[in-house]
Amino acid sequence: MDEKKVMPFVTVSSRGIRNGLAKTENDGADFGPDTPDTSSSGISEAIRNAKSGNVVLLDGEFHVREQIIVNEGINIVGSQKSIIINDLEDQFLPVLRFRPYSSSSFLIVNANGKSGVMIGEPGNNSIKIDYIKVYNTGNVYEGEGKENIAITVTGYNTIINFADIYKGNIGLKIVGGSDVRITDLQVVDSST
């Protein structure tokens, strides 16, 4: 019987043959810029293939051209040297969207003059974010739904231990939310 080996995590590298930063495919990681047909630097593909568990972002800049959906059971783990950069065409669409029962241990997002992260959906979420930093959010406001937002929280039952927001139109927006606990919040050069 051929049993598939289940790993407790998958790795994503920002370096690969395609972007000229490595001599081996995805610099030896499970996913990365050499992942076929990726527009998320391999992050979306890692989430789909992980099923549940940790998706570890190795050091580097991850240029993302499609919204990343963090599904149930997935924990995104970054470091101080792993940065997701919003290269989406739609400046109002968050580059990352956390669905119910997902989480993140450590995450840094460069909104790149656009929007950053959406956490949750209407209803129960059971989402926990240990540390999130979103910076360089855009300053555009053209009315409801047409605004640059660093972090949007919606629904209920969400825990964010530390949120660090720097620069942008709207730093933190809570929409239809309740039972949202943010232990430590730092917002600089943007409104809440």
Q: What pLDDT, on a 0 to 100 scale, did the predictor assign at position 6?
A: 57
Given a cut of 70, the residues of the chain with pLDDT beneath it are 1-7
Q: Assess contact for 22 and 14: CB atoms under 8 A.
A: no
Q: Assess contact for 116 and 86: CB atoms under 8 A.
A: yes
pTM: 0.91
Q: What pLDDT, on a 0 to 100 scale, did the predictor assign at position 27?
A: 87
Q: What pLDDT, on a 0 to 100 scale, did the predictor assign at position 5?
A: 55
Question: What are the structural domain ranges in the chain?
Answer: 54-188
> In degrees rounded to 5, what are phi and psi of residue 46?
-65, -40
Q: Assess contact for 167 and 138: CB atoms under 8 A.
A: no
Q: What pLDDT, on a 0 to 100 scale, did the predictor assign at position 21?
A: 86
Q: Assess contact for 186 and 165: CB atoms under 8 A.
A: yes
End-to-end CA gap in the chain: 56
pLDDT in tens, 159-170: 999 999 999 999
Q: What pLDDT, on a 0 to 100 scale, did the predictor assign at position 1?
A: 39
Residues 6+ apart with CB under 8 A from 160: 119, 128, 129, 132, 153, 180, 181, 182, 183, 185
